[in-house]
Structure 1
Amino acid sequence: MCLIVFAWKLIPATPLIAASNRDEYYDRPAAAAVCWESSPQVFAGRDLRSGGTWMGMANSNSSQDQAAGVKFAAITNIRAPSETRADAHSRGELVANYLSGQLSAQDYIASIRPLAGNYNGFNLLVADQNDMIWFSNRHQEDARNGVPLAPGIYGISNAALDTPWPKVVKTKAEFASLICQGAPQQAYFEMLSNTTQAPDCRLPDTGVSFEMERLLSSACIESPNYGTRVSSLVKIHATQPAEFIEKILR
């Protein structure tokens, strides 16, 4: 997962709205979002190489027809090529383990905090009915402890939460506008499909080549072997069944 914009507890009837793009190499096998046979309460896509997932939701009552008790989790990688370890654990298991387990968001973060060094850099979002927490094994000390988020609109890519990368700033602003308009779901997917690259003068320096920085600067990435493979829209409602809409691009 490489771009997530989300609104947390701004709309009483819909406490969480999240729109996201998953960027990955095209040859990495993956499955579309379904209820998992091993954990029927989990609804998520699946990385078929390592078994984890990049984003999903789960119902604590083991029923996708009940809105009460829905949990949400998503993860993005930290773009830091010089720090990548070949022996690190798969980051997707952090999402899968939360969704398939019974711990609250706060208790789950406490349980994985001592193990965070086993993974390459990540941003993890976990939410339950009460809390949305951002947790990272990079960045400032509070992120390494877990930051409970106040109601608001947030954006995250492959750096810290709300780092003002051009695609994060632009997509957050458009996302906020769509929420205010009560826009239909197709409008969110149109937002996520934007392939416009940032001006060269605004590109971040994350340790990859300048050409790669340019390629990765759009909300929707296109290249011969790597790019945006899945766009998703999640809405968790207070009294209605949750929605998870997925558009597979590759």
Structure 2
Amino acid sequence: MCLIVFGYNAHPNYRLIFAANRDEQYARPTRGAQFWNSHPDILAGKDLEAGGTWMGISRAGEFSAVTNYRDPNITKEDPPSRGKLTLNFLINKTDPLSYLQELHQEADNYQGFNLLTGNINTLGYYSNQEGIVRSLSPGIYGLSNHLLNTPWPKVQRSKNKLSHVLNKQKVSTEALFDLLGDDVKAPEDQLPDTGIPREVEKEISPIFIKGEEYGTRCSTVLLINKHNTVTFIERRYKPATQEIKEENSFEFEIKIPQIN
């Protein structure tokens, strides 16, 4: 993902309200969200080039999502795919904070990343550019290609929009998709400086990106209510447009494993 906005225990009826856009090269092969044949309890999209995923959730309620940290000065020789960080958490069914603590030991092998890991009781955050495992408190958060809650225009804009959505008793998935469809570019004087050309910085400054070769490939809305019902909707788009070419929708009850 390249833009994530979420409310964690920030609404009386929901544990998690999550909305995200995945931005990527249009040519990179991708499979839409589904339950994986190799891991039937995991619901996620799949990067067909490296085999990982940008976000997913298990039937037991384990959840994870990753964004890249943008800094052209960070270079690694043949680094592992950051999409494996998300997938490995979902496969291994580890405690969210323990997983991040273990990952810290090898995090420098990867290009820059931000990782969220959670279950119905805990939500953790870690970036290998900060090196600190954080247990998140209830609130509204935004994450793009810098650290959590870095006030880039798209992050601030999406958090403000989410706060209005959360004022309603029942959260509308369409309102969340409307939030993710905002394609307004940031003013010149508000653009972040991440070491890339200013015209590129401008092109990728909206919540929804429509570049020539790179842009928003899909939007995902994930809700977990206080009764542990999961609603997961993914919309995939034709390149450089908001024309939906595929929608994948799922609803299920989280089944927490019984400990004998």
Asked if Structure 1 and Structure 2 have the same fold, meaning a TM-score greater than 0.5 normalized by the shorter chain, the answer is: yes
Alignment partner of 1:4 is 2:4 = yes
Q: CA deviation at 1:240?
A: 4.2
User: Which runs of 5 or more structure 2 residues have no equivalent in the other structure?
Assistant: 239-260
**What residue number does 2:71 align with?**
80
**What residue number does 1:66 align with?**
none
CA-based RMSD: 1.1
Letter paired with 2:95: S
**What residue number does 2:178 align with?**
190
Q: CA deviation at 1:115?
A: 1.0
Q: CA deviation at 1:13?
A: 3.1
Q: CA deviation at 1:86?
A: 4.3
Alignment partner of 1:122 is 2:110 = no
**What residue number does 2:210 align with?**
222
SS of the equivalent of 1:133 reads strand
Q: CA deviation at 1:59?
A: 2.1
In the alignment, the residues of structure 2 paired with residue 178 and residue 13 of structure 1 have an alpha-carbon distance, to the nearest angstrom, of 13
In the alignment, the residues of structure 2 paired with residue 176 and residue 233 of structure 1 have an alpha-carbon distance, to the nearest angstrom, of 15
**What residue number does 1:248 align with?**
236
In the alignment, the residues of structure 2 paired with residue 84 and residue 23 of structure 1 have an alpha-carbon distance, to the nearest angstrom, of 20
Q: Note the alpha carbon deviations across 1:62-86, whole angstroms, 9 max, x for none.
A: xxxxxxxx11110000000121324
In the alignment, the residues of structure 2 paired with residue 239 and residue 28 of structure 1 have an alpha-carbon distance, to the nearest angstrom, of 37
Paired residue for 1:131, among 122, 125, 128?
122
Q: How does 1:1-40 map to 2 (within 5 A)?
A: 1-40=1-40
Q: CA deviation at 1:130?
A: 1.6
Letter paired with 1:246: E
Alignment partner of 1:236 is 2:224 = yes
SS of the equivalent of 1:81 reads coil
Q: How does 1:171-182 map to 2 (within 5 A)?
A: 171-181=158-168, 182=170
In the alignment, the residues of structure 2 paired with residue 200 and residue 86 of structure 1 have an alpha-carbon distance, to the nearest angstrom, of 34
Is the 8 Å Cα contact of residues 11 and 166 (structure 2) preserved in structure 1? Answer: no
**Higher helix fraction (1 or 2):** 1
Alignment partner of 1:209 is 2:200 = no
SS of the equivalent of 2:229 reads coil
In the alignment, the residues of structure 2 paired with residue 137 and residue 36 of structure 1 have an alpha-carbon distance, to the nearest angstrom, of 28
SS of the equivalent of 2:158 reads helix
In the alignment, the residues of structure 1 paired with residue 140 and residue 94 of structure 2 have an alpha-carbon distance, to the nearest angstrom, of 25
In the alignment, the residues of structure 1 paired with residue 142 and residue 127 of structure 2 have an alpha-carbon distance, to the nearest angstrom, of 15
Normalising to structure 2: TM-score of the pair?
0.88
SS of the equivalent of 2:62 reads strand
In the alignment, the residues of structure 2 paired with residue 204 and residue 10 of structure 1 have an alpha-carbon distance, to the nearest angstrom, of 28
In the alignment, the residues of structure 2 paired with residue 183 and residue 236 of structure 1 have an alpha-carbon distance, to the nearest angstrom, of 11
Normalising to structure 1: TM-score of the pair?
0.92
Structure 1 stretch displaced more, 202-211 or 79-88: 79-88
Q: CA deviation at 1:183?
A: 4.3
In the alignment, the residues of structure 1 paired with residue 227 and residue 171 of structure 2 have an alpha-carbon distance, to the nearest angstrom, of 20
